[in-house]
């Protein structure tokens, strides 16, 4: 039987991805106020490693304290963050998955409440326990109505921030991550430079598309000074803005070509986030997102910029995910909320796609028991329930 595309390995630079299934970066709002992860995160990521997600991304690790979206965001702005991340990365690797980190800066969307507390800007919330802080962006324009007005970065501070991305990459390498993804989407800091709807600068970082892309390109170049040559670098982009005058797919294809020249290996294809929440909330399109709604971006960028891509967004069916890879629309498929719903998703997908009736693709600590239980469920004859290898391997025992 041929191995289904979704569970075939992939190699980018020197990193071998055991399959194409990726845990998408997801903020869990569970970090300490100093940005450190805890044992909670070890358990959280650990369960996905047990379930054979081929690649496991951390949530966005903020490159500076000001760049957190909430007080519970995780950080990489300090060498003290490395130790816990090292343990997490090491456990992920021990289970055969690729440990991967996402770094970024929330820019004009920093300093807010946690989603389930209302997502409102901390400013004017009159909260002594979690007071607001000054937020920064490309220009002095609020991310959307109701958001706090950011301070535009001076030219000198733009250069300082680029350095912070390089330093964050160095720390991620020290922590033992093998893949790095730069969050340049969803209306966060880098996206605020890329989009003509949020970039009103008059210096070399504003105006033409070339200038608007400069911040992202210089970040990629800076990261490459610290991120080893043999490790792949991903960039998450909002491929379209979904607003008139905003970024179109053609703009993103051009950016992807330039990012590739700067040392980027894969474009992680998301969308939206300028002038409001990202496309998951679909306020801009007024239509609920449909399964695989961002896959066409991954396909077009892969073909036209000749770079690997990752598809994400409302992908939940194994057959669908497999088709995305099989039909060469993307090289990797990332799962966000479906992974929250079903952390064992890859194990179920492997059974479904390979018709693995005996749970052979599962770790034996659970697979062995489930196989025996299944025989009991399927047969009333106690001879069929015999445990042990012989029984399991008996043809037709199932």
Ligand X SMILES: Cc1cc2nc3c(=O)[nH]c(=O)nc-3n(C[C@H](O)[C@H](O)[C@H](O)COP(=O)(O)O)c2cc1C
Among 20, 59, 152, 237, binds ligand X (CB under 6 A): 59
Please tell me the distance from the alpha carbon of residue 328 to that of residue 196, in angstroms, as a whole number.
31
- C-alpha 389: how far from chain center: 40
Quote the least distance from Cβ 88 to ligand X, whole Å. 15
Q: Is 238 in the site for ligand X (CB under 6 A)?
A: no
H or E stretch covering 318:
helix 318-326
Q: Compute φ and ψ for 166, nearest 5 degrees.
A: -60, -45
Q: Could you give the 3-state DSSP secondary structure of residue 192?
A: helix
Please tell me the distance from the alpha carbon of residue 173 to that of residue 176, in angstroms, as a whole number.
5
Region at 204 (left for phi over 0; alpha for psi -120 to 50; beta for the rest):
alpha
| Site pattern 90..129 for ligand X (x: CB under 6 A) | ------------x---------------------------
Among 335, 349, 350, 397, binds ligand X (CB under 6 A): 335
Q: Is 67 in the site for ligand X (CB under 6 A)?
A: no
Cβ proximity to ligand X: between 44 and 84 the closer is: 44
For residue 3, how many other CB atoms are within 10 A of its CB? 11
Which residues, listed in sequence order, are joined to residue 306 by a DSSP beta bridge?
Answer: none
The stretch among 3-11, 193-201, 213-221, 329-337 that binds ligand X (CB under 6 A) is 329-337
**Cβ contacts of residue 112 below 8 Å, gap of 6+?**
69, 70, 119, 120, 121, 122
Among 7, 12, 17, 24, binds ligand X (CB under 6 A): 24
The stretch among 13-21, 25-33, 129-137, 165-173 that binds ligand X (CB under 6 A) is 25-33
Please tell me the distance from the alpha carbon of residue 285 to that of residue 306, in angstroms, as a whole number.
28
Among 6, 26, 256, 372, binds ligand X (CB under 6 A): 26
**Cβ contacts of residue 258 below 8 Å, gap of 6+?**
213, 217
Quote the least distance from Cβ 97 to ligand X, whole Å. 17
> Binding residues for ligand X, how many (CB under 6 A)?
19
Cβ proximity to ligand X: between 135 and 397 the closer is: 135
Q: Is 322 in the site for ligand X (CB under 6 A)?
A: no
Q: Is 338 in the site for ligand X (CB under 6 A)?
A: yes
Q: Could you give the 3-state DSSP secondary structure of residue 238?
A: strand
Give 318's Cβ-side CA count (13 Å radius).
Answer: 19
Cβ proximity to ligand X: between 292 and 367 the closer is: 292
Among 84, 171, 236, 351, binds ligand X (CB under 6 A): 236
Q: Which residue among the candidates 71, 147, 188, 205 is catalytic per the annotation?
A: 188
Q: Compute φ and ψ for 11, nearest 5 degrees.
A: -120, 125
Please tell me the distance from the alpha carbon of residue 292 to that of residue 324, in angstroms, as a whole number.
9
Q: Compute φ and ψ for 17, nearest 5 degrees.
A: -95, 120
Q: Is 336 in the site for ligand X (CB under 6 A)?
A: yes
- The residue whose two tokens read 């200038």 is 211
The structure tokens listed for 137 are 């962006």
Residues between 294 and 313 that touch ligand X (CB under 6 A): 312-313
Among 52, 183, 242, 392, binds ligand X (CB under 6 A): 183
Residues 271 and 278: beta-carbon distance below 8 Å:
yes
Q: Is 337 in the site for ligand X (CB under 6 A)?
A: yes
The stretch among 23-31, 133-141, 156-164, 223-231 that binds ligand X (CB under 6 A) is 23-31
Residues between 260 and 299 that touch ligand X (CB under 6 A): 270, 280
The C-alpha angle 10, 234, 307, rounded to 5 degrees, equals 65
**188 catalytic, yes or no?**
yes
Quote the least distance from Cβ 246 to ligand X, whole Å. 18
Cβ proximity to ligand X: between 197 and 312 the closer is: 312
Quote the least distance from Cβ 313 to ligand X, whole Å. 4
**252 exposed, middle or buried (CB, 10 Å; 0-12, 13-18, 19+)?**
buried
Q: Is 40 in the site for ligand X (CB under 6 A)?
A: no
By annotation, the residues acting in catalysis are 188
Residues found near ligand X in the complex (CB under 6 A): 24-27, 59-60, 102, 183, 236, 270, 280, 312-315, 335-338
């Amino acid at each position: 039987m041929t191995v289904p595309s979704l569970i075939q390995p992939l190699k980018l630079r020197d990193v071998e991805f055991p399959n194409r299934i990726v845990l998408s970066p997801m903020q869990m709002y569970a970090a300490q106020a100093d940005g450190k992860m805890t044992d909670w995160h070890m358990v959280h990521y650990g369960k996905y490693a047990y379930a054979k997600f081929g690649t496991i991304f951390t949530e966005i690790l903020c490159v500076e304290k000001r760049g957190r979206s909430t007080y519970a965001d995780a950080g990489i702005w300090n060498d003290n963050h490395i130790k816990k991340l090292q343990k997490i990365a090491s456990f992920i690797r021990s289970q055969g998955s690729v440990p991967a980190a996402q770094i970024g800066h929330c820019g004009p969307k920093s300093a807010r409440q946690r989603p389930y507390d209302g997502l409102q800007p901390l400013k004017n919330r009159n909260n002594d326990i979690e007071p607001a802080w000054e937020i920064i962006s490309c220009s002095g324009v609020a991310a959307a109505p109701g958001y706090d007005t950011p301070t535009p970065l001076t030219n000198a501070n733009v250069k300082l921030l680029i350095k912070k991305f390089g330093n964050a990459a160095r720390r991620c390498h020290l922590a033992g991550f093998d893949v790095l993804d730069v969050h340049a989407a969803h209306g966060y800091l880098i996206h605020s430079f890329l989009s003509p709807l949020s970039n009103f600068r008059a210096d070399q970082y504003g105006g033409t598309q070339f200038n608007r892309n400069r911040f992202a390109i210089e970040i990629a170049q800076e990261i490459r000074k610290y991120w080893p040559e043999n490790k792949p670098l991903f960039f998450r982009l909002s491929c379209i803005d979904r607003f008139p005058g905003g970024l179109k797919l053609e703009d993103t294809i051009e950016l992807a070509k330039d990012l590739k020249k700067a040392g980027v290996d894969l474009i992680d294809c998301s969308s939206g986030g300028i002038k409001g929440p990202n496309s998951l909330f679909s306020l801009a399109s007024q239509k609920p997102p449909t399964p695989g709604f961002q896959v066409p971006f991954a396909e077009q960028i892969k073909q036209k910029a000749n770079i690997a891509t990752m598809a994400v967004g409302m992908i939940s069916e194994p057959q669908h995910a497999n088709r995305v890879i099989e039909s060469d629309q993307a090289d990797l498929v990332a799962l966000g909320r479906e992974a929250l719903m079903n952390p064992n998703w890859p194990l179920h997908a492997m059974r479904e796609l390979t018709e693995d009736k005996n749970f052979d693709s599962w770790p034996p600590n659970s697979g062995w028991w489930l196989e025996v239980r299944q025989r009991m469920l399927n047969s009333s004859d106690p001879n069929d329930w015999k445990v042990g290898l012989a029984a399991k391997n008996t043809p037709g025992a199932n």
